[in-house]
Structure 1
Amino acid sequence: MANELPQVVTIAGVDSDGSAGAQADLHSFFMRGTYGALILTAAVAGNSYGIQDSTLMPLDFIDHQFDALAADLHIRAAKTGMLADSAMIEAVAKNLKKYDFGPLVLDPVISTKHGNMLLETSAFDTLKKVLIPMATVITPNFYEAEHLTGLKLDDDAAIIQAAEQIRAMGAKNVVLKGRHDSDEQTQVRDYVLLENGKHFWLTGPYFPTTRKNGTGDTLSAVITAELGKGTDLEDAIRLAKHFVDTAIANEIPVGHKFGPINHWANAIVQPSFTATSDD
Structure 2
Amino acid sequence: MTQLTNTQASSNTQFSSEAVTPNTPIVLTIAGSDSGGGAGIQADIKAMSATGSFACSVITAITSQNTQGVSAIFPIPLDHVASQLDAVFTDLNIVAVKVGMLADSEIIKVVAEKIRQYQPQHLVIDPVMVATSGDLLLEDSAISTLKRELIPLADIITPNLPEGAALTGKSVPESETEMQDMIDDLRALDAKAVLLKGGHLEKDENSNDLLILPQSSALISAKRFPTKNTHGTGCTLSSAIASFLAQGNTLEQAVHLGKQYITHAIAHADELQVGQGHGPVNHFYAGHADVS
In structure 2, what is the Cα distance between the partners aligned to 1:115 and 1:48? 17
Correspondent of 1:168 among 170, 178, 188: 188
Contact map agreement 2:175 2:201 (CA 8 A) in 1 = no
2:226 is equivalent to residue 203 of structure 1 = no
**Aligned-residue RMSD, C-alpha:** 1.7
Q: Which amino acid aligns with 2:199?
A: R
State the Cα distance separating 1:116 from its structure 2 match: 4.9
Q: Distance in 1 between matches of 2:32 and 2:151?
A: 19
CA distance in 1, matches of 2:53, 2:136: 31
User: 1:54 and 1:61, CA in 2 relative to 1: closer, same or farther beyond 3 A?
Assistant: same
**How far apart in 1 are the matches of 2:191 and 2:109?**
17
Q: 1:203, CA displacement in angstroms?
A: 1.1
How far off is 1:181 after superposition? 5.8
What TM-score do you get using the length of structure 2 for normalisation? 0.86
Between the aligned partners of 2:179 and 2:133, the Cα distance in structure 1 is 23
- Give the conservation status (yes or no) of the 8 Å contact 1:180–1:206: no
Do the aligned residues in 2 keep the contact of 1:105 with 1:136 (CA within 8 Å)?
A: yes
Provide TM-score, normalisation by structure 1. 0.90
Task: Provide the rounded CA distance (Å) in 2 between the counterparts of 1:213 and 1:231.
Answer: 27
Change (3 A) 1:245 1:220: same
Give the superposition deviation at 1:139.
0.3
Which of structures 1 and 2 has the larger relative contact order (alpha carbons within 8 angstroms, sep 6+)?
2
Q: Write the letter of the residue equivalent to 1:138.
A: I
Instruction: Summarize the alignment of residues 47-58 of structure 1 with structure 2, pairs less than 5 Å apart.
Output: 47-58=66-77
SS, match of residue 170 in structure 1: coil
State how far apart, in whole Å, the 2-side matches of 1:248 and 1:154 are: 22
Confirm whether residue 41 of structure 1 aligns to residue 60 of structure 2. Answer: yes
The one-letter code of the counterpart of 1:200 is A
Render the CA deviation track for 1:221-248: whole Å, top value 9, x for unaligned.
0100011111111111011111111111
Contact 1:84–1:120 (CA under 8 A) maintained in structure 2: no
Aligned to 2:12: none
Q: Aligned with 2:63: secondary structure?
A: strand
Identity %: 39
In the alignment, is the contact (CA less than 8 A) between 1:10 and 1:38 conserved in 2?
yes
Q: Is residue 151–residue 158 contact of structure 1 (8 Å, CA) maintained in 2?
A: no
Aligned partner of 2:80 among 39, 44, 61: 61
Helix, strand or coil for the counterpart of 1:33? coil
1:257 partner letter: G
**Match in the other structure for 1:220:** 238
Work out which of the residue numbers 128, 137, 155 in structure 1 matches 2:147.
Answer: 128
